Structure 1
Amino acid sequence: MIEAKLISTGFKNIAGVDEAGRGACAGPLVIAAVILDNPLSEKFVEVRDSKALTEKQREQLYRLIIDNSISYAIISVTVTEIDSGGVHRANIEGMRRAVLGLKSKPEYVLTDGYKIAGLAIPALAIWKGDQVAVSISAASILAKVTRDRIMRGLDSEYPNYGMSSHKGYITKKHSAALAKFGVTEIHRKSFANIANLIHNGK
């Protein structure tokens, strides 16, 4: 475990950072940062990449993570922000905001895949980090659960699109709804499939 190596070299407050919704064409991008009280503890043995867990498991682990964290921050990046600068820029800036939102300053930051440029804290970007670092896995769960809750809420506002089921990602059902009902304000106009629909008058 990466955290074990960092702890053995003297680092204590290690933050994990991850996002949910980067590849979706609707809804916000949600990013979480979390400092676990003891990332080596057995109580986190079930914490892993949120995509490998069921919704029920994620909800249960969400509470475990919150209750056993030194500090956590969850931020939502709006569709407007995503469209104005692109999803990658929004992702990096969102990670920065999440880290700066931690009430306890981390001594080291682990991110999933992407480096936070200009962060004045030692950091490491790890490809598929949510599979090898429990702190990143914990952040992925916080982000995923939060975003899923947001998308279920948006489902009641936009009942024709099935947001509760696909969470804003492209599926046959979502594509069919877009073709029939058109693009809404929660769809990302900077994404190619949505831009094409707008170009075609949807």
Structure 2
Amino acid sequence: MTQFAKGATIRRDAGLYGFERALARQGLTPVAGVDEAGRGACAGPLVAAAVVLDRPIPGIADSKLLTEARREKCFDLIMKRATDVSVVIVSAPDCDQMGMHVANISALRRALARLAVRPGYVLTDGFPVDGLGVPGLAVWKGDRVAASIAAASIVAKVTRDRIMVQLHEEYPAYDFATHKGYCTSLHQEKLDEHGPCPEHRRRYVNVRAAMEGAVREQ
């Protein structure tokens, strides 16, 4: 990843589209934002998204700051109005096989590669992602300060939440529709009671402990 474009500056009051406007002034367009959802969950897939915006989309913000209903509305607007959107889904077994960091970096790269529009610059949330093939910048809390990253966070979050609701129908004992596979007290209670299902990530300590407990009880 490179540093931010030389000569480009972001004012503190530039707003959510400040990065995109500054890069456009430098001719570094289109700008793609990439982000993921589910990295910290102990069940379900990891989902990465890449989004290219060419115009403001009302209401978008960090997906974690929006209500579920608002995320769904923003998701629909992004899918209709964004220049390009791509999504990559990494299954729980694949996350176990690769390890979460490798799975995460790989998913972000693949999401960017699947865009039909080749970006001139890439903004990532929090940490740098090498090997993207274009210049880019890791933005601290990027989903709160850069519109394209915020849009990617919404697409990834809504896509993953919908998957977890579907998995709830397949594995109702774990109540995936409520906690979406994250390590909540409710999820841990269900995990300890029933042991892990195929959607649980075996690399996680709490999942391994539940597996061992289920074996001892047999």
TM-score (norm 2): 0.88
Please say which of residues 153-162 and 118-127 is displaced more in the overlay: 118-127
Q: Distance between the aligned counterparts of 2:99 and 2:204, measured in 1?
A: 9
Aligned to 2:30: 13
SS in 2 for 1:111: strand
C-alpha deviation, 1:3, in angstroms = 1.2
Match of residue 157, structure 1, among 156, 170, 177: 170
Match of residue 39, structure 2, among 4, 22, 35: 22
Q: Counterparts in 2 of 1:54-133, with a 5 A limit?
A: 54-133=67-146
C-alpha deviation, 1:199, in angstroms = 2.9
Please say which of residues 83-92 and 151-160 is displaced more in the overlay: 83-92
Q: Distance between the aligned counterparts of 1:127 and 1:192, measured in 2?
A: 28
1:117 is aligned with what amino acid?
Answer: D
C-alpha deviation, 1:8, in angstroms = 1.0
Alignment of 1:192 onto 2:205? yes
1:156 is aligned with what amino acid?
Answer: E
Aligned to 1:51: 64
1:2-59, CA deviations, whole angstroms, 9 ceiling, x for partnerless residues? 1111111112210000111110000000010010122xx3xx2411000000111011
Identity %: 47
* Contact 1:92/1:114, CA 8 A, preserved across alignment: no
Q: Distance between the aligned counterparts of 2:70 and 2:214, measured in 1?
A: 41
1:74-126, CA deviations, whole angstroms, 9 ceiling, x for partnerless residues? 11011111101211110000000000000111111101112222221011111
* Contact 2:109/2:131, CA 8 A, preserved across alignment: no
TM-score (norm 1): 0.95
Aligned to 1:181: 194
Cα RMSD after superposing both structures? 1.1
Please say which of residues 134-143 and 105-114 is displaced more in the overlay: 105-114
Rg larger in 1 or in 2? 2
Alignment length, in residue pairs?
A: 198
SS in 2 for 1:118: coil
| Structure 2: runs of 5+ lacking an equivalent | 1-17
Please say which of residues 109-118 and 150-159 is displaced more in the overlay: 109-118
Q: Distance between the aligned counterparts of 2:131 and 2:28, measured in 1?
A: 20
